[in-house]
Amino acid sequence: MQSDAQSLLRLHPAASGLSEDEIREIAARTTVKAFATDEAAIRAGGMPESLSLVIGGRFRMESPDGPSGARIANYGPGDQLGLMPLLHDEASPVDVIADEPSMTLEIQPRTLFRLMRQYPLMAKNLLRGSTFGMNDRAVRHRLHPRPRTITFLHTCTPTRGVVDRIVRRLEQLGETVGIISDDPHRSSGPRTLVHRDPIDEKAEGQVRAQLADWNSLDRIVFDVDLHCNDIRWQQLAHLYSYSQQIYLMVTPDSALGETQALVKVMKQASAWKHKLDVIWVLPPPVQVAPAISPIYELANHDYKVGEPPESGLDHAIERVVHALRGVRIGIALGGGAARGMSHYGVLDVFEKANLVIDEVAGTSVGAMLGVTYCSGYDIQYGIDCFTADLKLPRLYRGIRGGSKWYLVRKFRSNSWDAMLRNYLQDWRLEQLPIPIQTVGVDLVRGEEVIRKSGDSVDAILESINLPYLSAPICRDGQALVDGGMLNVIPADALVRSGCNYVIAVNVSTKVQPLFAGNTPQTPTERMKTPNVLQVWARLLDVQSRNLSQMGAASADFTISPDVAKVDIGAFEQTPEIARRGAEAASKCLRDLQQQLNQIDHRLFPLPT
């Protein structure tokens, strides 16, 4: 049991930086405890019996005075329970209850205080973890600043209608918006001032008076044309100085010429760059933005907006509105070979519930599925394509472990590239409608590699490049292999990129207690010796489970589809695997909606 506690303690941030001898000595003073669903770890009004280091599962914090079932926060692997009440010798004001079967390492209070004195680094880790565990959600969930004065700079007429769509959505959310525009097709009204050139010096008095009248409005929108000449740029400079957010509105046709002019100006006024985002307006049937590198280097973020949907929520516009309201929702799609096809089911549930994702991060199969999803392909189309393209050939059906041998062949024959380029062509990550990050591992430096730009197929191939099945991809001084070797669920990447709420999808939470025909109850004389391929697949399962617990620790909400029994090569079962993902997401959707509702109750209203 001590060796179990030692290996579990290594997974927890409390052991960060400790030597193996220190970890062994601390682990000897802990006990492993299992919690059943709805079993209390801490009860309000009582003192915690011990410090609980959460290793697996999930706990919820509830106020005894609040409505039944209303949670304050969630805790998962990497978190800790009970430190503050123990340090302050005060009763806990809240209940902490297991949401699912969970596991902790328990340290009794007297032992805890002795260990904290004996190992200062452990004490530092615990105190930092307590601050982060209790307050990081509050800090991270603070909304980003909401710009009040917004400027939309149009490079052509077709981009004008997008502003109307954004303003309508803000007004649906209860905001009051005033518009100052040079669009001759607009009509002046109580909250609209139309002027031939509202940023010209001659209009300054009228504009100032209008702004004074609109002092109580939530937003002021300048909706103006971008004329690229020296006089115009001087006028725009004045507007930039008090705009809190600037959007350059471009189409594929208008982008190149205007971008070159804008780059020149931004070099002279670098202080404005932090305010600038780009909105691409893509006419049908254009699926991705063009590969014009200066525009991606110029902007902090860019958004791709197409034609409005015939009905329902406009997801592309919603991403812009999220940003204007200070919200950025990310989803981390974990690795797990064919089990990762359950991500499609989760995403499908989110789409039907109008839960709009602003950014995606994916590892291994999470990268492969994530990139195709972020490219704009319909979920059902993706399911159908993966099912057909990765259907197990007849030759492998009669072979023991045939699906795994088929994966070996896919890697050894380098056939992933052609399959993926059939859909992704030579698109780059930065061109895709939804931002995505992919995770690989560089064996030269021994560290993870996060891709936010570059060839999308190359990014996938790096992230799915399983060692032992394929040689490292060597380019630009790097030797790249599967991102799951270090970071199975890249929730931390989304936190670093500014997401203030992160959802993780973990397809590696469980390992089926059956290996090569052996179970924990198999007598020694009846046990079967596994072959090399079985050992490789099992090691991948075990490693993924342990690393996924660490990766999910940075997430605010974790969804864990029941896919432990799915063979890692069973891609032809994608429809059924996706269904399991949808089941898992549906079961916890209400809890997720309640948490998002606490961040912004207008953006995320609770369904009636």
- DSSP calls for 398-459: TSTTHHHHHHHHHHHTT-HHHHHHHHHTT-BGGGSSS-EEEEEEETTTTEEEEESSSBHHHH
pLDDT of residue 221: 96
Which of 50, 92, 342, 364 is flagged as catalytic? 364
3-class SS of residue 592: helix
**Under 8 Å between Cβ of 505 and 581:** yes
Q: What is the pLDDT of residues 393-448, one digit of tens each?
A: 888 887 877 787 888 788 888 899 999 999 999 999 999 999 999 999 999 998 99
Q: In the CATH hierarchy, which fold is given to the domain comprising 149-325?
A: Rossmann fold (3.40.50)
Return the HEC string of 209-276.
HHHHHCCCCCEEEEEEECCCCHHHHHHHHHHHHHCCEEEEEECHHHHHHHHHHHHHHHHHCHHHHHHE
Which of 44-58, 318-332, 400-414 has the largest mean confidence?
A: 318-332
pLDDT of residue 79: 83
Report residue 533's pLDDT band, with 50, 70 and 90 as the boundaries.
low
pLDDT of residue 396: 83
pLDDT of residue 270: 59
Which of 5-19, 64-78, 250-264, 410-424 has the largest mean confidence?
A: 410-424
Q: What is the CATH number of domain 1-139?
A: 2.60.120.10
Report residue 189's pLDDT band, with 50, 70 and 90 as the boundaries.
confident
Active site residue 556: no
pLDDT of residue 35: 92
pLDDT of residue 427: 98
Pairing label, strands 245-250, 436-442: unpaired
pLDDT of residue 399: 81
Q: What residue segments make up the domains of the chain, in order of their start?
A: 1-139, 149-325, 329-510+552-599
List b or e across 134-154, with b for residues whose CB sees 16 or more CB atoms inside 10 angstroms: beebeebbeeeeebeebbbbb
Tokens encoding 208: 């100032």
Sign of CA dihedral 263, 269, 273, 276: negative
Q: What is the pLDDT of residues 479-517, one digit of tens each?
A: 999 988 888 899 999 998 999 999 999 997 666 777 777
3-class SS of residue 287: coil
Q: In the CATH hierarchy, which fold is given to the domain comprising 329-510+552-599?
A: Cytosolic phospholipase A2 catalytic domain (3.40.1090)
- Report the percentage of the chain scoring pLDDT > 90: 52
Residue range 91-113: mean pLDDT, rounded: 89
Tokens encoding 325: 């309201």
Which of 182, 458, 482, 541 is flagged as catalytic? 482
Lowest mean pLDDT across 24-33, 136-145, 442-451: 136-145
CA distances to 56, 411, 449, 530, 548 from 534, in Å: 26, 17, 28, 6, 21
- Say what the pTM is: 0.75
Active site residue 482: yes
Residue range 452-475: mean pLDDT, rounded: 93
**Under 8 Å between Cβ of 548 and 334:** yes
Secondary structure (DSSP) of 338-370: GGGGHHHHHHHHHHHTT---SEEEEETHHHHHH
